[in-house]
Each structure stands twice: as structure tokens, then as C-alpha cells.
Amino acid sequence: MKRNLSRVLTAALLCGAMLAACTPDNKEQKTVSPEEDNSAFVTLTDVVPDVIMEIRYFGSYNFVGTRIDGYLEPTALLTRQAADSLLAVSNDVKAQGYRLKIYDAYRPQCGVDHFVRWAADIPDTLMKPYFYPDLDKSVLFDQEYIMAKSGHTRGSTVDLTLFDMTTEKELDMGGTFDWFGPESHPDFCGNPETFEYTGDNSKSPKGRSITPEQFHNRMILRQAMLRHGFKPLSTEWWHFTLTDEPFPDTYFTFPVKQL
């Protein structure tokens, strides 16, 4: 009897040792905050492999003039839901002879903080001729070109344009990405609800205008995005957010790099 009891105790001790070996030490486990958790995100090219990437904030051709904090690799990340919807957009525009070109997608909070620091540094106007020639830098906060929070940081917003497969060039949208001014508004020179060109350029401080073709090109992108669950922004023709975004109140902090 004693011998059997000894065998049972030995087996129990061995089983306990095996379980302990398979269970991570709680002291070694790292607690990840919701803002640091990238498990609901995907690398966009894994879902939409034929998008063209021009991640402006990884390079220096942007309104700041340098690489933005948090952009460790020239890639684009989105929530799985936003990426799946963008795949539908890609298939839509490919049938029309275009491909999607991505300027920015998920943006970590440290990147937004970089924008805020730059905007507060009034003398730094290196890129003013290219992105905000009509504005004094001191008004960028007041006019909300720079804000402390961005929809991009929630992970379901994308900045993009169209690439024409026939001409092998970007589709002419009549203005550059990240142009600070009314010329970037979807309703500039037209009605984005009816897709009608009006030629009304009265909001432009310098009398700039876009052509009917350029307005039409903006509407091709807009219509495709709306058809597949994205909502537009009233001040930027290139900016769209998934209507049913999964993290409407979470501003993520992990860096931009391949997942």
C-alpha cells in the first residue's frame, strides 16, 4: 500500500513539474495596453497585394520635410476590416483601369505628436512653397490642418489616390496630397454629392482652379470608396475612413512596420 501511495505521489510531482514548465512565468509576461496591441491590424499589401506604396511620412517629401516619428518602414497598416473593404475598392477601380496608390494609412500617436511639435515651431517653413504657400504657419492649429488627435491613429483611415494603368502615371487630381487649402476640398469647383463640375473657385485665395477632368478624377476615387463602406472628409479629397471602424475611441501607439 505504501509502495502504491509513493508511486501516486511521484506521478503527481512529475505532472506538476511538467505543467510548470509549460506555463509562462507570470513575472516574465509583458502587459500590453490596448493602444500598443496591433493584433487586429494587418500589413495592407498582405490583403491588397497590388496597391502601389508611396508612404510620404517615411521619407522627407511631406509638409514637415523629414521622416515622421513612428514610421520605421515604408509600409501601410490597417485594421483587418478596413483592409478587407479596401480590397473591394481595389477590385472596383481595377475594373475601370486603375490601381490604388497609398500615401498613408495607420499613423501612430507619436507621429501626430511630431506634427504638433513641428506646427509650434513657427520659423520652420522649409516645405511651405510645396504644401501651404497661401497660409502663414501660425494659423495651422486654428484652421485645424494640424490637430492633437487624428482618425488615422484609430487604424481605419487611409490617404490615397488612383494610378492610371494606361498612362502609367498618377491620375491628375488637380492638386498634391497634403495641400493645405480649400483647393483640396472635395467640393472645390464642383458638387461632390451630384458629382457635377461647377467651376466655382471662389474659395481659392489665389484664384486657383481645377479642370472638369481633374474634378471628375477625384469623383472616380470618391465614388469607389463610398461604394465599399468608406466615408469622406470635407477638407481632403484623398482622405477616407471606414464608416464602421472597429476602434472609434482608441488611438494606437505601436510603430509602422511590417507585421
- According to DSSP, residue 71 is labeled B
- According to DSSP, residue 1 is labeled -
Q: For the chain, what percentages of helix, strand and coil (3-state, to nearest 5) are there?
A: 35, 15, 50
CB neighbours of residue 185 within 10 Å: 18
| Element (DSSP H or E) covering residue 22 | helix 2-22
| Element (DSSP H or E) covering residue 17 | helix 2-22
Of 249, 258, 250, 189, the residue nearest 217 (C-alpha): 189
Residue 236 catalytic? yes
CB neighbours of residue 169 within 10 Å: 9
**Residues 88/38, Cβ–Cβ less than 8 Å:** no
Give the three cell numbers for residue 58: 517615411
Question: Which residues are CB-neighbours of 35 under 8 A, at least 6 positions away?
Answer: 109, 250, 251, 252, 253, 254
Question: Which residues are CB-neighbours of 153 under 8 A, at least 6 positions away?
Answer: 106, 107, 108, 109, 111, 112, 251, 252
Which of 36, 183, 236, 245 is catalytic? The answer is 236
Catalytic residues: 236
